[in-house]
Amino acid sequence: MRARRSAMVGVFSIVVAIGCGRSPGASATDDTTAAPASVQLAQAPDSAGPATAGGATVTGSVKFTGAPPAAQAVKMSADPKCQEQHQSPVMTEEVVVSANGGLKNVFVSVKGAPPSASAPAAPVTLNQAGCWYAPHVFGIQVNQPLEIVNSDATLHNVNAKPAANPPFNVAQPVKGMKTSKKFTKPEIGVKFKCNVHPWMNAFAGVVDHPYYAVSKDDGTFAISGLPDGTYTLEAWHEKYGTQTAPLTVSGGAAQPVQFTFAAQ
């Protein structure tokens, strides 16, 4: 009986790995997958990086000019467990423009900022709820834990496609499962996708300092605690690419910065 039980567990493990795009022998040594638990739906974290004492608060906005592409309703009918969780259609988040022309989900970071002596111990959470990633764009520091949570009663696989860091593809077949990962090198625009639900995607900005933010619904952002110095401020968008602007902090103050992306 014991041998039969072991064989059945082995077969299940292989089916899950193959179904999620991973070979049965694939390595995931830094995975820490917990037993199923009751998980609350995670809210998107604050768009600013960790608060730092002293220094300047760099504020600014990201504007969009021209006619933005219309958001499309996401078709989730391929998995009834996804569709039944939404009372109204879920709209794509590739380009989100507010009534005042603010562009959401732009990752803004300071190039040349002093690196952190150590990574934050508190994890950044990437949640899968309603077959949707939250947040869509987020920042994380090098070697800071990333906690990936499945809050759905359906199979997800988290397929990360970095270039400077090792890629990974992790299966989460049970509601409540959690997996911990870390990035060891800075890299902007790391894409996450789910092969089971191809409409799911998210992006991470990995930096070695706390001076970053993601533009809010109205396109504004704020980065706190930046020491005096001369820097380059970089704004990255998943569709419209990267823009930069010079930034000088003097006497603990900096002028506001505005980026403008145009319709293509």
Q: Which residue has the tokens 């082995």?
A: 10
Alpha helix (H) residue ranges in the chain: 2-19, 80-83
Q: Is the pLDDT of residue 9 over 50?
A: no
| pLDDT value at residue 264 | 83
Domains of the chain, earliest start first = 29-262 (2.60.40.420)
| pLDDT value at residue 43 | 41
| pLDDT value at residue 31 | 54
pLDDT tens for each residue of 36-61: 333 333 344 455 666 665 789 999 99
Q: What is the DSSP annotation of 236-250? A: EETTTEEEEEEEEEB
| 4 C-beta neighbours (distance < 10 Å), count | 8
Asked if 232 contacts 112 with a C-beta cutoff of 8 angstroms, the reply is yes
Q: How far is CA 172 from the centre of its chain?
A: 17
Over residues 173-186, the mean pLDDT reads 98
Over residues 9-29, the mean pLDDT reads 37
| pLDDT value at residue 47 | 53
Q: Which residue has the tokens 């906690």?
A: 147
* DSSP assignment letter at 42: P
- Return the beta strands (E) in 45-99 as ranges: 56-65
Asked if 48 contacts 211 with a C-beta cutoff of 8 angstroms, the reply is no
| pLDDT value at residue 178 | 98
| pLDDT band per the 50, 70, 90 thresholds, residue 11 | very low
Sequence letter at residue 218: D
Tokens of 201: 């995607």
pLDDT tens for each residue of 133-154: 999 999 999 999 999 999 999 9
Which residues contact residue 191 at a Cβ distance below 8 angstroms, ignoring those fewer than 6 apart? 160, 161, 201, 202, 203
Percent of the chain with pLDDT over 70: 80
Bridge partners for 179 per DSSP: 148
Over residues 82-105, the mean pLDDT reads 95
Over residues 164-170, the mean pLDDT reads 97
pLDDT tens for each residue of 199-256: 999 999 999 999 999 999 999 999 999 999 999 999 999 999 999 999 999 999 999 9
Q: Taking the C-alpha atoms of 108, 236, 138 and 199 in order, what is their torsion angle to the nearest 10 degrees? A: 160
Q: Is the pLDDT of residue 3 over 90?
A: no
Tokens of 22: 């991973």
Burial readout 236-249 (b: 16 or more C-beta within 10 A, e: otherwise)? bbbebeebeeebeb
